[in-house]
Structure 1
Amino acid sequence: MALPLRDRAGNVLLDVRRVAESELPAVAAALVVAGHAGAVLMMLDARRGQWELPGGMREPGETARETAARELAEETGLRGVVLTFAAVAEFDLVDPARRELLAVYRAELATAPRLALSEEGLGFRWWSPREPAGPDMSPLDAEIAARVWT
């Protein structure tokens, strides 16, 4: 899809660009596009009630890579996964109003993993980025996944 792309809450995905990880600007959060057999792992976010990529806010002192690894482990139970830096995503968010950059990492999983739910997630599903995103999926996360995975 063409950017910018808006979700139902009014958040806007402005750009997804590839940069070297060494040139990554300060980011507020990190997302992980974890894939297996042509499909990407999405989790059902308990708070927003939509399918999203695993990820979350950076904690003080963490690098973007450490944030991605921690969030993936907390939200899915996956630990020790090899993460490859993929892109930086730029958002215009509404609540509260702010411009935010997120680091996006990619993880290629050799086998379908055993996943563990946390209080943040209600379930998991595998979604092919070649398929349209459903109405219950974050269109912003789906666009990021499609740009990083395919």
Structure 2
Amino acid sequence: MPAVRDRAGNTLTGFRVVTDSELERLDDPASVPASVVVVEHAGAVLMVFDSWRRQWELPGGSREPGETSRQAAVRELREETGIDGVEADGVAVAEFDLVDPDRHELLAVYRVRLRALPRLLVNDEVLDFLWWPPSGPVGEDMSPLDAEIARRVVHTPPG
């Protein structure tokens, strides 16, 4: 996989499709400290506009103490969007070389498929929402790393 880099110098170096049970076996907070959720509806992926990073990205974030990566994904999705009570399926592990501080990390990637548009709730962390078609362009204000993860998940057959 060719590396994808963002403007800060963070690099997506790998993406491995895994089964839900494989993701659970990899679920060590030290090596997999965060999760993201690719929410799909009608051929589009939900991107949130992060108030701190000022960019469109996938909902997700860091795990809290004692939390599994799935629990973190579901909690972050609820906190950032208001979407609750959905089944998040583990689909992949993304691998990164990050800066500030320099480190190598894995990210748990989950998928949620929605039949109907949800009611989304703007909050302090998320200022807006975008249903982005993964075949579309990646704008200057979108995380190229998250866009690449979204594209790969959309093209991953259901497991």
Q: Which residue of 2 aligns with 1:50?
A: 55
Say which SS state the counterpart of residue 140 (structure 2) adopts. coil
2:52 is paired with a residue whose SS is coil
Unaligned runs of 5+ in 2: none
> Scaled by the length of structure 1, what TM-score is found?
0.96
Structure 1 alignment gaps of length 5 or more: none
CA deviation map 1:93-123 (0-9, x unaligned) = 1011111111000000100110011211110
Match of 1:22, SS state, is helix
Judge conservation of contact 2:20–2:89 (CA < 8 Å) in 1: no
Residues matched between the structures, number: 149
Shift of the alpha carbon at 1:46?
0.6
Corresponding residue number in structure 1 for 2:4: 5
What is aligned with 1:145?
Answer: 150
Query: Matches of 2:97 and 2:89 in 1, distance apart?
Result: 25
- 1:120 corresponding residue in structure 2: 125
2:78 equivalent to 1:73: yes
**Range moving further from structure 2, 22-31 or 42-51:** 22-31
Cα displacement string for residues 36-88 of structure 1 (whole angstroms, at most 9, x for unaligned residues) = 10000000011111100000001111111101000000000010011111100
Whole-Å separation in 1 of the counterparts to 2:84 and 2:21: 24
Find the partner of 1:109 among 111, 114, 118.
Answer: 114
- Of 22, 34, 38 in structure 1, the residue corresponding to residue 39 of structure 2 is 34
Q: Any idea what SS the aligned residue of 1:134 has? A: coil
Alignment of 1:92-107 (within 5 A): 92-107=97-112
Amino acid at match of 1:14: T
Write the distance in 2 (CA, Å) between the matches of 1:64 and 1:141.
17
- Which residue type is aligned with residue 113 of structure 2? E
**Which secondary structure state, in structure 2, belongs to the residue aligned with residue 141 of structure 1?**
helix
